[in-house]
Amino acid sequence: MTLPESRIYTCVDESRSHALHFLEGQKLVQDMALMHQLYGSGFAFFRKICLTVQPMLCLLKQGEYFGFYLDSDEPYFRLKIELTAGGAIRAMLLPEDFQEFPEKVSGTMRLNKYSAKIKSPYQSVLEIQNHSLDKISDHILQNSYQMVGSVIVSETSDQSILVLKLPNPESSEEVDEMEGSMELPPHQVNLYHQMLSKGETDSEKIQLLLKENGFDFLAGRDVFFRCNCSHKRMIQNLHLYQQNDPQPLFDESQTSLSVTCEYCKKEYQITAEDLNQNPYVVN
């Protein structure tokens, strides 16, 4: 059976105290599984962290995109997730044979937010020590967006929910009340897990599910895997590589290099002439 395009549904509760972003990501996860050669615990970890970060694209304004990068030292892995406000995502996890599902990670977490209107990107860099995935999402929301929220990932369906606390328009202490982490009451957590356990993929049924549980639907957008790699971008990447390692890229017998995109696995053939005719350009 062909799955419908994955989609994020944005709504608010009746009291207007919380915004909820419901990610139906089953086709997205299926496409990622076909794209990457990760198996077992390694893919389970990749799936969960993508479902954790993906709903945050709802925080982006039109024309914005961000990159989430996690360089973990313990255990060792390199994770990249890039999102656009339009719903596109591309992600990768190295090493490709990663077979762990770490409960906690230590290393460096970076978030770069870009906008077509701003030349220099906003960047936040955080050192993390024995952080769980939940703590990582809390850090992004609090330190990069000054928002209080929580992410709940389903264990049974490829879906997740991002809950964000909204400021009280009648309060004069908005800054104070938006600090700290969000501790959802047990009955609220149970409600979200029940909604996710349905595994609904039909758009009308998901909107009905949200309405039946006290949420007013505001907007929705498709989410999908899309890579913006190109022959020209690969040439630029090789120029960057040469800046760090001046050793010749080509042996005397070589006429071209085979370069594979780490996100979508598309292969490009780059010649020495390509490099000479396309000098490095600083963006």
Whether 215 and 236 share a structural domain: no
pLDDT digits (tens, 9 = 90+) for 171-228: 555 444 445 556 788 899 999 999 999 999 999 999 999 999 999 999 999 999 999 8
pLDDT digits (tens, 9 = 90+) for 71-80: 999 899 999 9
Given 225, 254, 269, the domain boundary residue is: 225
Whether 270 and 238 share a structural domain: yes
Task: Output the pTM of the full model.
Answer: 0.87
Q: Which of 24-28, 73-77, 133-137 has the lowest mean pLDDT?
A: 133-137
- Whether residue 265 is contained in a domain is answered as yes
Q: What is the CATH number of the domain that holds 146?
A: 3.55.30.10
Mean pLDDT within 13-29: 94
Whether 217 and 266 share a structural domain: no
Whether 173 and 126 share a structural domain: yes
- Whether residue 2 is contained in a domain is answered as no
Record the tokens describing residue 282, joined without a space. 């600083």
Whether 119 and 237 share a structural domain: no
pLDDT for the residue numbered 178: 44
Whether 141 and 115 share a structural domain: yes
Q: How many domains does the chain have?
A: 2
Alpha helices in 80-141, H assignment, sequence order:
133-139
Domain residues for the domain of 71 are: 7-225
CB 87 within 8 A of CB 8: yes
Query: Cβ neighbours of residue 130 under 8 Å, at least 6 residues apart?
Result: 104, 105, 106
